[in-house]
Amino acid sequence: MRICALIAAFNEEETIEQVVGGVRRHTSDVLVVDDGSTDRTAERARGAGAVVLRHPANRGKGAAIRTGLARLLQGPHTHVLFIDGDLQHDPEDIPRLLSAAAHQQCDVVIAERSFAKGAMPTARLYSNRIGSRILSRFIGTEVSDSQSGFRLVRTDCLRPLTLTATGYEIETEMLIKLARRHASLSRVSIAARYHDSRSKLRSVRDTFRTCMLAVHYRYLSRR
């Protein structure tokens, strides 16, 4: 496998350096898409060894992912590792995803957080539980953490996809369209990590929006 990590980041100057450094212990190729940050995210990502693309204004996580994929899918990498830039994903879990992909010969590996009371904020706990249950129906297979942004995907599976999401719904759109093309999926369990910084995701609003858009991705969008 030849891996490139893709990190969509917006105002993550406090954590991006640590994330990039952690990721580079497992793959030397890291691409950060700075989605219009007003802080030193881009500077610190470059200093940690990442290649950085930058949106002049904030366009949303989905738009940043699509910008990164447009660049990566032209290259020689066999897999894209998606990971967030806020340290909610531990880079030390990366070998578990790589091992699952190698030993199970699957197209997609999702790192699923444990949704236990006390492990994450209450609003996020229930919105994730309910949202994943609903979205699994649209995806076509049981996924307990459909909105996880920590995943490993074969580039050959990503190239045929037409992704249109601009926000957090990009994770669900990707899974629905991969499942439609019969991509094989594996899951690994990871611990949920939360820290003092305020999440940019609005649990109820963004989960509701994702569920509504999932109807479109599943039944109306044929590409």
What integer pLDDT is reported at residue 22 of this predicted model?
Answer: 97
pLDDT digits (tens, 9 = 90+) for 151-173: 999 999 999 999 999 998 898 88
Q: Domain map of the chain by residue range? A: 3-220
What integer pLDDT is reported at residue 141 of this predicted model?
Answer: 60
Rounded to whole angstroms, how far apart are CA atoms 162 and 134?
23
pLDDT digits (tens, 9 = 90+) for 76-90: 999 999 999 999 899
pTM of the model: 0.81
Rounded to whole angstroms, how far apart are CA atoms 150 and 146?
10
Q: Beta-strand (E) ranges in the chain? A: 3-9, 29-35, 51-55, 79-82, 108-113, 151-154, 185-190
pLDDT digits (tens, 9 = 90+) for 122-152: 555 545 555 555 556 555 666 656 678 899 9
pLDDT digits (tens, 9 = 90+) for 2-15: 999 999 999 999 99
Rounded to whole angstroms, how far apart are CA atoms 50 and 155?
20
- What's the CATH architecture for 3-220? Alpha-Beta Complex (3.90)
Q: Beta-strand (E) ranges in 115-215? A: 151-154, 185-190
Rounded to whole angstroms, how far apart are CA atoms 90 and 19?
8
Question: Across all residues in the chain, what is the average pLDDT?
Answer: 84
Sequence length of the chain is 223
67-90 burial string, b = 16+ CB within 10 Å, else e?
Answer: bbbeebeeeebebbbbbbbbbbbe
Non-local CB neighbours of 19 within 8 Å, separated by 6+ positions: 7, 12, 83, 84, 85, 86, 87, 89, 91
| Average pLDDT of span 89-101 | 95
What integer pLDDT is reported at residue 126 of this predicted model?
Answer: 47
Tokens of 40: 């030193």
Tokens of 133: 């249950």
Rounded to whole angstroms, how far apart are CA atoms 125 and 137?
19
Rounded to whole angstroms, how far apart are CA atoms 72 and 126?
34
Question: To the nearest whole percent, how much of the chain has pLDDT over 90?
Answer: 59
